[in-house]
Amino acid sequence: MMVNQKPGRQKNVRGPSVRALILGELRRREGSPVSGTFLANTIGVSRVAVWKNIQALTGAGYPVRTPEKGYALETGENDFLYPWEFGGRENLFRYFSGTGSTMDRAREFAEQGLPGGTVVCAEKQSAGRGRNGRTWASRQGGLFFSLLERPNLALADYALPAMLLQIALAKALGRICGKKALLRWPNDVYIDQRKIAGVLTELAGEGDKITWLAGGAGVNVNNPVPSGRITSCAEILGRKVSRRETLTAILDELEDLKKEYAPAGAYENRGLAKEWNSLAEGLGGRVAVIDPRHEDYRFTDEKPEGEERILARGTYAGTDGAGRCLVKTGTEKGTLPFSPGAASIIFL
Ligand code: BTN
């Protein structure tokens, strides 16, 4: 189900909705009651409008008490991802309490003509997907969103927006978790050598230009994760982490990165690749490049060649300005570039 509110208070006026303003007032009072009349006067709406919005907030799960003197928001957990939780970005948010995949919703919104910057998020996904046809387990407490972009890019450069998103994820998650987050080519974020987030890109084009692109991110925040190769913010910090603040931090980082590397939608490839490489995991290490269909299959150098589709072995030299992984083969083939769709790398 999609839960959205009409943006703005008046037609064509962009600004926080009445719901966002009421929530802000309630939060400012940290559990103390505020009267309906005060809220109505402060925000500039009728008391009925205040009442209706309080009803809607309660219906959406906010613990609003109605003591005699008005309304009070109980302190404690209310980590919601509703559009009105995202300040100036409210009008760009599309929220689903549950959906198949936010990638499908993003595609539909793109086809309906929604602008770049639209954020589609869901509490739960019943058909979350990852790279190479894998399933993305979307359990309660995780953060699942797709970001619709309309970049001024050739199809061949489709990897660049995902690189930006990945850098934003690494910076935001590193700060939140108090640890260095690294990027594993092509689209994963790792902390302590365990995956904390992944990015999936889907797009449509016309001629050689991208018409829209959706960057989908799955972030392990409070969702349970299997021990071993995967981690979450909650596991690292030993406490629950606000998904709302996590998503805001990611979008803030992305906004800053866009100003630097994609002003007016035109990408500055070299600088972007340099920034990406500054966060790359395993630079200079030995890697095998394999067909991504065999990505899950771990192997060592001892295994016989040909058992999997090994495309190359060599030294990992980071990514280039088109998002391709560079591998120095040490042979007459020199340094080979591999596109994200056609290869995965395994550290040996
Ligand atoms: C990967 O690591 O393979 C990429 C995972 C991407 C998962 C996210 S969750 C939000 C969006 N919706 C999906 O169905 N997939 C992406």
- CATH at 49: 1.10.10.10
Q: φ, ψ for residue 171 (rounded to 5)? A: -65, -45
Give the model's pLDDT for residue 5.
53
Residue 85: inside a domain, yes or no? no
Choosing from 17, 38, 73, the residue where a domain stops is: 73
pLDDT digits (tens, 9 = 90+) for 90-108: 999 999 999 999 999 999 9
| Range 267-285 average pLDDT | 94
One domain for residues 197 and 315 = no
One domain for residues 155 and 242 = yes
Which residues neighbour 41 within 8 Å (Cβ) at sequence distance 6 or greater?
Answer: none
Q: Are 64 and 75 in contact (CB under 8 A)?
A: no
Quick one: CA torsion of 255, 257, 259, 260, rounded to 10 degrees?
Answer: 170
Give the model's pLDDT for residue 294.
59
Pairing of strands 325-328, 335-338: antiparallel
Q: Are 3 and 20 in contact (CB under 8 A)?
A: no
Residues facing residue 203 across a β-bridge:
213
Which domain CATH number covers 145? 3.30.930.10
Evaluate: CB of 96 within 6 angstroms of ligand 1. no
Distant-in-sequence contacts of 58-62, Cβ < 8 A, 24+ apart: 60/3, 62/23
One domain for residues 119 and 266 = yes
Crossing angle between the packed helical segments 243-261 and 269-278, to the nearest 10 degrees = 140
Give the model's pLDDT for residue 206.
96
One domain for residues 188 and 267 = yes
Interatomic CA distance for residues 145 and 96, integer angstroms: 10
Whether this prediction's pTM lies above 0.85 is answered by yes
Interatomic CA distance for residues 279 and 177, integer angstroms: 16
Measured from the Cα of 122, ligand 1's closest atom is: 10
Choosing from 239, 258, 278, the residue where a domain stops is: 278
Evaluate: CB of 7 within 6 angstroms of ligand 1. no
One domain for residues 138 and 21 = no
One domain for residues 119 and 171 = yes
One domain for residues 108 and 137 = yes
One domain for residues 256 and 301 = no
pLDDT digits (tens, 9 = 90+) for 157-201: 999 999 999 999 999 999 999 999 999 999 999 999 999 999 999
Total domains in the chain come to: 3
Q: What is the 189 CA–ligand 1 centroid distance (Å)?
A: 12
| Of 108, 129, 293, best ligand 1 pocket probe by most atoms within 8 Å of the beta carbon | 129
Residue 89: inside a domain, yes or no? no
Give the model's pLDDT for residue 299.
41
Residue 255: inside a domain, yes or no? yes
One domain for residues 221 and 187 = yes
Residue 1: inside a domain, yes or no? no
One domain for residues 118 and 169 = yes
Q: What is the span of the domain harbouring residue 155?
A: 98-278
pLDDT digits (tens, 9 = 90+) for 99-136: 999 999 999 999 999 999 999 999 999 999 998 888 99
One domain for residues 68 and 109 = no
Give the model's pLDDT for residue 308.
56
Tokens of 298: 């771990």
Q: What is the 36 CA–ligand 1 centroid distance (Å)?
A: 42
Residue 90: inside a domain, yes or no? no
By C-alpha distance, which of 101, 19, 27 is closest to 59?
19
Is residue 71 predicted with pLDDT exceeding 90?
yes
Pairing of strands 335-338, 143-149: unpaired
One domain for residues 135 and 269 = yes
Q: Are 89 and 66 in contact (CB under 8 A)?
A: no
Evaluate: CB of 199 within 6 angstroms of ligand 1. yes
Residue 270, helix vs strand vs coil: helix
Choosing from 233, 260, 278, the residue where a domain stops is: 278
